[in-house]
Amino acid sequence: MRVNLLTDAKYHNLALMRISSYHKSRGDQVVLNFPLEPADYTYGSWLFDFSPKYPCDVQGGPGYDPSIRLNGFEDMKPDYDLFPIDYSLGYTWEYCPRKCKFCVVPKQNNPMVHRSIWAFHDTRFDKICLLNNNTFSDPLWRKTFEEIWAARLTVVDENGYDLRLMDEEKADALKRTRFDGSIHFAWDLMRDERAIRKGLTLAKQHKLNGVVYVLVGFNTIEEDDIYRCQVITNMGFDPYIMPYRSRKKPIPPRRLLDFKRFIDSRYYRQTTIAQAWTNYRP
């Protein structure tokens, strides 16, 4: 049996990696991203709603329908030969208690189930990527870190940590953990300023090397975006602009993209962000 796996993911797709393991264990031939080649069965797992789609026997993912899960494969260890990555990949906690309207996660019906890293970690790797949507909301979050420390693993951080849940114990755990690059945080909504400031203060006290995602174009105005970036900079961290995209508006307005390029360039280093933005010419 020939099985075709299709995705718009650039680096990896956990659902397809689990499906690949299942079919290879049955002796099936598995190929990735050959949409025009004949196959007995085709799966599609899409991350982006604006990417092109191809006919599939079954498909799901946040870019197609967030509520559709490619069920039946959760207990399979990922096929690490499917993508050229040098780290293990998976969830120890998929659930997120936040119900942010700009986020696809609340639509995914993710279970409130804690898993060990050994459900997906491969000892060939000395790095691990947690896809958790909100690690600190897991009542057993510390167990995850203790397993990582015991295995002497370096963490590849993609989704980040919720500053609103930060406390001394969590900041200390992050400090004890080896990261491949910066730790990621986020400040999405203006209403969270007090909690964000408190979390960043703890992160700074523990000398964490962090980047803060800043959502723009959802429900903030330009002055809000400049303000958040300035606060983040003043507290010793780098902002990283995340323009809001939706199915109706997959391409953000030009000014938001210019603002992202401006912040990415660190053009404001010698002055305030507001002044530098006034003088900035894209």
Q: What are phi and psi of 8, to 5 degrees?
A: -100, 5
E strands, 76-234, where? 88-90, 127-130, 154-157, 178-179, 183-187, 210-216
Q: What are the C-alpha distances in Å from 34 to residues 7, 23, 148, 153, 267?
A: 10, 17, 36, 34, 42
**How large is the average pLDDT for residues 78-95?**
96
Q: What is the pLDDT, as a whole number, of residue 7?
A: 96
Q: How many residues does the chain have?
A: 282
Tokens of 45: 């797992």
- Residue 186's contacts (CB-CB under 8 Å, 6 or more residues apart) are 160, 162, 163, 212, 213, 214, 215, 242
pTM: 0.91
Tell me what pLDDT residue 183 has: 96
pLDDT of residue 71 exceeding 80, the answer is: no
Please say whether the beta carbons of 39 and 1 come within 8 A.
no
pLDDT for 111-135, tens place per residue?
899 999 999 999 999 999 999 999 9
pLDDT at res. 107: 87
Q: Summarize pLDDT for 204-255 with one digit per residue, the tens.
A: 999 999 999 999 999 999 999 999 999 999 999 999 999 998 767 778 899 9
Q: What percent of the chain has pLDDT over 90?
A: 80
Q: What is the pLDDT of residues 251-268, one digit of tens each?
A: 889 999 999 999 999 988
| Residue 60 backbone phi and psi in degrees, to 5 | -165, -160
CA distance 197 to 225: 15
Nearest CA to 164 out of 209, 125, 196 is that of: 196
Task: Name the one residue in this structure whose structure tokens are 């010793």.
Answer: 236
Instruction: Assign 3 a pLDDT band (cuts: 50, 70, 90).
Output: very high
List the structure tokens of 240. Answer: 């990283």
